[in-house]
Amino acid sequence: MRNPLRYRLWYTARQKVVTSVVVAALVITSGWYGIGRLTAPEDRSCARGVERPQGSDECIGVSGDGYDFGRPKLSEVAAAIARENDSLKAGRYATVALLLPLTSTDEAMQTKMQRELQGAFAEQYRANHLSNEQVPKIRLVLANTGKNNLLWRPAVDRLKTMTGAPDNLRAVSGVATSSTQVKSAVKELTAAHIAVVGTTITADDIANGAKGDPFPGLARVSPTNRDEARALAHFGQVRKDKALLVQDTRTGDHYTDTLRAAFTSLVKGTRYQPELFTSRSDPNDEGTTANTFQQITHLICDTDAETVFFAGRHVQLRQFINALGARGCQNRAFTILTGDEGSYLGSDKKLDRSALRRKVTVRYASLAHPDTWAAATGKGRAATGGSPADYRAFLDLLATVSKKPAGPIGPTDHEALTDGQVIIAHDAMTLAVQAVRQATPQDKRLPQLADVGEQWPRVKGSLRVSGASGWICLDNHGNPYNKAVPVVELAPEDAGQRFVSIAWPEGTPPDEKCLLPSSAP
């Protein structure tokens, strides 16, 4: 039986209207909320000035606020950079950016990124605190181009907007890998009149020269692959009839392309065709090249070769060393000569170091090494081209920035310096700072943007950079002339990278004035 009281209380006309209004309000509110969630832009920010581009999970952009881009190895040094930046007064600094693949997933590259930042920060600190109050002060920011530099475009676009106040960007350093992406980034930056200083780019075709200056405003502190090869040739007399070349056939990688060309000229006259392999488009991908190297070592044993020139990246170099260590002809001795990518193997845990105790010697043309200038000049040491005093000054600076209040910045002991990355990054930053300050007119706080890159032809003689890696004397196109090339050997000991000797592209050290001859470009 129907309850009249209940009917009267809940189902009156008034209750029906109220109920309908409440339900409608709930439906409309829920609908608007759902539509808002669906149509509102997704928050893809990672930190101020840094965000995840559409289709990517990497944090790309520019930061000087201590953001480590999700890489714990960078946390301490990024924080140190932020502290230094926070101490600067607005309008009294010029910004230098480090353009690097900071979110690389390759372990060796992550270590390289850490050391690039350490070296650059050391020079930032010296410029701001130990240079007799020269102006402008230097602000340092980190610009991430993503894994394999594939996301270089948004980072470069952001840098191009930073040339005015408050950032006053005046130079870009870092620029550390010889790839198509980096070449495009350098092209874009220099076209915008932003000076660029490459740290470890060695490809001959990411450079200016006598045939033209496609990158006006680009300078480098590392020798080209051609100069590295020339230095290796002067270092040791290689019998061409007992030498062969192992080369990557993948094209478009400017490091391997130009190293292959340089080594081909060195082994001209050999009796053996090159042994070929093809790496993946991502050179950090292990791929199947280890299988190929196992076959190549069989063929090398069939020859009477003693020296193997290797034109390839560090992952494939490590695979080749491991394969050669397990070769069948264990009674034969082999020397592998390669470019500066050999420096990555010092921290590569996948390298079979026992191969280095099986008559396999691996030597590479390094960009820097802590023992190059550590000893006093003497027999076998150059009287010019660098000095123990310059290197000791660098070590004193590292000792200062590695501890509070400037630091900590991560490991900077002798072992951490043997791959040369901290040293060469410091020298590149030194060159950038020198150019920024030399381009600053009297009674002005900042140089004009385009004037910074015009300083390179004057970096020679008494205006050279007396770097920790050696003297940096630039030709008229921004390339180092006759730069010291440390020949370094991988040692069987863990992480051992042993200095062997200094080699010179011209065969002998530069003269004491470091003025380039008329035959130079």
Same domain, 388 and 348: no
- Work out the number of other CB atoms within 10 angstroms of the CB of residue 515: 14
| Per-residue confidence (pLDDT) for residue 7, from 0 to 100 | 47
**174 shares its domain with 56:** yes
Q: Are 212 and 305 part of one and the same domain? A: no
Rounded CA-CA distance 219/251 in Å is 25
Domain coverage including residue 243: 227-365
**Is 24 part of any domain?**
no
How far apart (Å, rounded) are the C-alpha atoms in residues 248 and 278? 5
Tell me, yes or no, whether 214 and 239 share the same domain.
no
Q: Is the pLDDT of residue 31 over 80?
A: no
Is residue 521 pLDDT above 90, yes or no? no
Same domain, 290 and 302: yes
Q: Is 88 inside a domain boundary? A: yes
Domain boundary at 318, 347, 365, which?
365
Q: Which two tokens stand for residue 358?
A: 């099986």
Say if residue 423 is in the same domain as residue 443: yes
**Same domain assignment for residues 412 and 478:** yes
Q: Are residues 179 and 258 in the same domain?
A: no
Report the b/e string of 306-330 with b at 16+ CB within 10 A.
ebbbbbbbbbbbbbbbbbbbebeee
Does residue 29 carry a pLDDT above 80?
no
What is the model's pLDDT at position 447?
Answer: 97
For strand 360-365 and strand 93-100, is the pairing parallel, antiparallel, or unpaired?
unpaired
For 185-199, 291-305, 343-357, 457-471, which range has the lowest pLDDT when averaged over its residues? 343-357
380-409 average pLDDT score:
92
Q: How far apart are CA 425 and CA 73, in angstroms?
A: 17
Asked whether residue 391 is domain-assigned, the answer is yes
Query: Tell me: the pLDDT tens digits for 140-155?
Result: 999 999 999 999 999 9
Instruction: Please say which residue of 335, 365, 395 terminates a domain.
Output: 365
**Are 396 and 332 in the same domain?**
no
252: pLDDT strictly greater than 70? yes
Residue 322: inside a domain, yes or no?
A: yes
Supply the pLDDT for residue 5: 46
pLDDT band at 113 (very low <50, low <70, confident <90, very high): very high
517 lies in a domain?
Answer: no
For the stretch 118-139, pLDDT in tens is 999 999 999 999 999 999 999 9
* DSSP symbols for 125-190: HHHHHSSTT-SSEEEEEEEE--GGGTTHHHHHHHHHT-SSTTT-EEEEEE----SHHHHHHHHHHH
The span from the CA of 178 to the CA of 157, in Å, is 20
More confident residue, 93 or 107: 93
The total number of structural domains that make up the chain: 2
- Could you read off the pLDDT of 55-100 as tens digits, one per residue? 999 999 999 999 999 999 999 999 999 999 999 999 999 999 999 9
434 and 447 assigned to the same domain: yes
CA angle 388, 394, 399 (to 5 degrees): 125
Residues 79 and 131 in one domain: yes
Q: What is the mean pLDDT of residues 489-514?
A: 91
pLDDT at 125: 98
Token digits of residue 270: 């050999």
Question: Which CATH number does the domain housing residue 288 bear?
Answer: 3.40.50.2300
Question: Does residue 436 belong to any structural domain of this protein?
Answer: yes
Q: Is residue 18 included in any domain, yes or no?
A: no
Burial bucket for residue 376 (CB in 10 Å: 0-12, 13-18, 19+): exposed
Same domain (yes/no): 59, 153 = yes
Of 344, 365, 386, at which residue does a domain stop? 365
pLDDT of residue 11 exceeding 90: no
pTM of the entire structure? 0.88
